[in-house]
Structure 1
Amino acid sequence: MIDRDEALAMARGWAGEHGTAPDVGLHEFDQGYVAWPIGSTPGTAATAGAPGSSGPPRIVIDRQTGEMTQWPPLPVAVIAQRYATERAADRRFPPDVRHVLETAGWFPGRDVTPMIDRWRADWAAELDGLVMTPAARTALTEFGGLTFPQFGADGEADAGFPTFVHPVRGGLVTEEARVFIDEYDHQVFPLGGNSDGPSELVIDADQRVFMLHWAGYLFVAAGIDAALTALIRGGPFPPARPGG
């Protein structure tokens, strides 16, 4: 655990190594400290206040590990927020899965609410009677419109079946979702699809994701993060159990 005095010493060392004034400003937040040089180069005035969106780069010192990362000259509150979001994403996904997600266009804090609302309105007739729960909306607004490859054990991207999250150009199929609801007496909402089958992907109010394959209904995972991890890695997907 890095305390404020240790962070200040580390920041001063960083400033000195990079040829800036040896004194620094320090902003403390939950995950660590944002530091920036204080002082002047010839022709500039010194300032002890938090910097704006200009000047030399900043660093973040992680409170837990002491790791230092360099950031562009953004306001310190913005850096602190972005750092917290990045660290939360690191805890959400394994490195291999996060790499696939980011390559597909996902980033921490992604929100495509207008696209999902437009899709829902455009396909209102097909979605009639299907309830978009908060769990479904949360998953769609963060991952909507993205397609993810599946990787095999050897890391090859063509080792399996890609997954897509609604909306997609190919339209919307809800036939199996409705059969699932009737058969299991369990409400689900369309999430996307998988090219194996092809299959529909649906999500329930408890964030459980199911793959509705022509050969049978499969349980993917509980929670959208775990479901995307399983889909990108290729399973396994056990059979869905009525009432389970």
Structure 2
Amino acid sequence: MPDLNSTRFPVNVDAALREAGWQPGRWDMKLAEEWADTLRAHVTPAGHRHSVFPAAVEAWAEFGGLHVTAPGHGRQIAPAAVRFDPLAGIHLARTLGDLGRALDTELAPLGEESEHRAVLAMDVEGRVYSIDHTGDWYLGRDLDAALSTLITGTQPTRLVAGA
């Protein structure tokens, strides 16, 4: 029998998500499909295109349009505000493609953190990354873990070239 008092997320992450408008079962596939179509149609002047795959579309459907603000202080670093809008990364098709090749996967944009300080991306397996001016960061094995990292202010893992 499932524990009805447990949540999918840690309590503070769950509270931040609910404050932003998320609830279990939230699903806006129409918005996710519009974003998928826009990303597929975008081609950079050099011919780079975005990858669109089921894990990203599902994340957009569940969390799309939310602006999540972290309550309180972070554990190790300042917690990040998260805005779920993959079009925040529309002009980064080459950057996401290059990182995807380095990781031997494909990446799709998810949104951004902390008012344009970093772009969030997801790979085909559901792992989540952050790309900012200081480098590339691994946030978690799935979106739930990444949200916990961002909202609780847990130090993410920096990706190191050749490692």
Tell me the residue number matched to 2:53: 133
Change (3 A) 1:109 1:177: same
Does the alignment pair 1:174 with 2:92?
yes
**Sequence identity (%):** 28
The structure whose RCO (Cα within 8 Å, separation 6+) is larger is 2
Does the alignment pair 1:161 with 2:75?
no
Which AA in structure 1 matches 2:146?
Answer: A
Change (3 A) 1:183 1:236: same
Does the alignment pair 1:118 with 2:38?
no
Q: Provide the rounded CA distance (Å) in 2 between the counterparts of 1:101 and 1:234.
A: 15
Pairing partner for 1:227 from 146, 149, 152: 146
Pairing partner for 1:194 from 113, 116, 121: 113
TM-score w.r.t. length of structure 2: 0.79
Change (3 A) 1:103 1:196: closer
Pairing partner for 1:101 from 7, 12, 17: 17
Tell me the residue number matched to 1:40: none
CA drift of 1:197 comes to 6.2
Paired residues of 1:203 and 1:209 also in contact (CA < 8 A) = yes
Paired residues of 1:104 and 1:148 also in contact (CA < 8 A) = yes
Paired residues of 1:188 and 1:205 also in contact (CA < 8 A) = yes
Change (3 A) 1:208 1:242: farther
Paired residues of 1:188 and 1:202 also in contact (CA < 8 A) = yes
CA drift of 1:237 comes to 0.7
* 1:22-33 pair list within 5 angstroms: none
Question: 1:78-119: CA deviations, max 9, x gaps?
Answer: xxxxxxxxx49x331111111110110001100010011122
Q: Provide the rounded CA distance (Å) in 2 between the counterparts of 1:183 and 1:116.
A: 27
Paired residues of 1:197 and 1:214 also in contact (CA < 8 A) = no
Aligned residue pairs, count? 156
Q: Which has the larger radius of gyration?
A: 1
Tell me the residue number matched to 1:212: 131
Structure 2: 5+ residue stretches without partners = none
Change (3 A) 1:243 1:189: farther
* 1:41-60 pair list within 5 angstroms: none
Secondary structure in structure 1 of the residue aligned to 2:149? helix
Q: Provide the rounded CA distance (Å) in 1 between the counterparts of 2:89 and 2:157.
A: 28
Which AA in structure 2 matches 1:148?
Answer: V
Does the alignment pair 1:142 with 2:58?
no
Paired residues of 2:122 and 2:128 also in contact (CA < 8 A) = yes
Question: 1:188-224: CA deviations, max 9, x gaps?
Answer: 1111111276111100111110001111101101111
CA drift of 1:234 comes to 1.6
Paired residues of 2:21 and 2:66 also in contact (CA < 8 A) = yes
